[in-house]
Amino acid sequence: MSRTPLIAGNWKMNGLLSDGTTLAKAVALGAKGAACDILICPPATLLAPIKEALAGTTVHLGAQDCHWQASGAHTGDISAQMLVDIGCSHVILGHSERRADHGETDNQVALKAAAAHNAGLMALICVGETEAQRDAGDTMSVISAQLDGSVPDSATSENTVIAYEPVWAIGTGRTPTAQEANQVHAHIRAHLRGRLGTEGIADLRILYGGSMKPGNAVDLLAQPDIDGGLIGGAALKAEDFLGIVAAAVS
Ligand code: 13P
């Protein structure tokens, strides 16, 4: 098995030109020589300048969404090909904030992921239960249904990463225990192997997201089925993000 940890920063709707490029450069400098893969996903307005700021570094660039069509009358949307054109290698899809704010459905997420695959992008597909679903004991069935609906048949270890982000843990400072999170990750792995077979997704990486900080990253990242993190708030400070990067390689 070779699942190089991936530490990904989802900046969400944060960052202007000056502070965004400064942050990206600080991350790239501090992460030099890191043994994990590192990804920055700034808002779309900063993709081009941050691509330039990251030139010559090993830090990957990703977007936070794409449309499933290659081009056409879709005002405000960006296609997977456009992201590749500007230098992206990854795209986050189906984040719970997009599902909540824009009514994105599992089926749309699957179409977007297939478009990302066709364009040569790595799709980071997000799943996660709400607090009510967790309290009702429905976490595993909710996750299974989201995987069935959101992960296209074209998914392999080479073009897909899954991010498990419990909705109740995002931006709240609360997290499941590392063991609880690992149980869900193991379930995700087993469920996808059952559906897609073991060969194509043998090295599939499954990231944890939701209030990951330097202080809890060591425990979470030490779990056998947690292969990295998708970081929100802590990705906006180089020191915090690099603290998590350090936890991934220790
Ligand atoms: P926080 O790290 O701010 O909880 O956000 C997690 C997240 O939503 C990453 O996609």
pLDDT digits (tens, 9 = 90+) for 126-141: 999 999 999 999 999 9
Instruction: Pick the atom of ligand 1 nearest to 92's CA.
Output: 10
Distance 174 CA to ligand 1 centre (A): 11
Q: Report how far ligand 1's centroid is from the alpha carbon of 59 (Å).
A: 19
Atom number, ligand 1, closest to the C-alpha of residue 12: 10
The answer, yes or no, to whether any atom of ligand 1 lies below 6 A from the CB of 95, is: yes
What pLDDT was estimated at residue 238?
Answer: 98
212 CB within 6 A, ligand 1: yes
Choice between 202 and 109, residue whose per-residue pLDDT is larger: 109
**What proportion of the chain, given as a percentage, has pLDDT over 90?**
96
- Beta bridge mates, 160: 123
Ligand 1 atom with the smallest distance to the CA of 234 is 2
**Overall pTM surpassing 0.85 (yes/no):** yes
Give the residue carrying structure tokens 């920063």: 9
Mean pLDDT across 169-188:
98
Reduce the DSSP state of residue 205 to 3 states and report it.
strand
Tell me: pLDDT of 114 over 60. yes
**pLDDT confidence bin for 2, thresholds 50/70/90:** confident
**C-beta of residue 127 within 8 angstroms of C-beta of residue 163:** yes
Mean pLDDT of the 201-223 span: 97
With a cut of 70, say whether residue 1 has pLDDT above it: no
Confidence (pLDDT) at 29: 97
Task: Please choose from 6, 7, 10 the residue to mutate so as to test ligand 1's pocket, defined by most ligand atoms within 8 A of CB.
Answer: 10
pLDDT for residue 75 is more than 60 = yes
Read off the pLDDT of each residue in 5-25 and give the average, rounded to a whole number. 98
Whether the predicted pLDDT of 234 surpasses 60: yes
Mean pLDDT, the chain, rounded, equals 97
Res 248 pLDDT > 80: yes
Kindly state if the Cβ of 209 falls inside 6 Å of ligand 1.
yes
Q: What is the whole-number distance in angstroms between the Cα of residue 13 and the centre of ligand 1?
A: 12
CA 113, 59, 219, 250: dihedral to nearest 10 degrees?
140
Residue 173, Cβ neighbours under 10 Å: how many? 10
- Ligand 1 pocket residue status of 210, Cβ below 6 Å: yes
| pLDDT above 80: residue 124 | yes
Find the 95 Cα to ligand 1 centroid distance in Å.
10
Angle CA 94–14–68, to nearest 5: 30
pLDDT at 250 over 60: no
What Cα–Cα distance (Å) separates residue 61 from each residue in 2, 97, 153, 157, 198?
22, 20, 25, 18, 28
Q: Can you tell me the mean pLDDT for 196-215? A: 95
When pLDDT is averaged across residues 14-34 and rounded to a whole number, the result is 97
How much is the average pLDDT of 191-210? Answer: 94
Give all domains of the chain, ordered by start, each with its CATH number. 6-88+96-249 (3.20.20.70)
How much is the pLDDT for 249?
Answer: 72
Mind listing the pLDDT tens digit for each residue in 132-167?
Answer: 999 999 999 999 999 999 999 999 999 999 999 999
Kindly state if the Cβ of 211 falls inside 6 Å of ligand 1. yes
Binding site membership of 232 for ligand 1 (Cβ less than 6 Å): yes
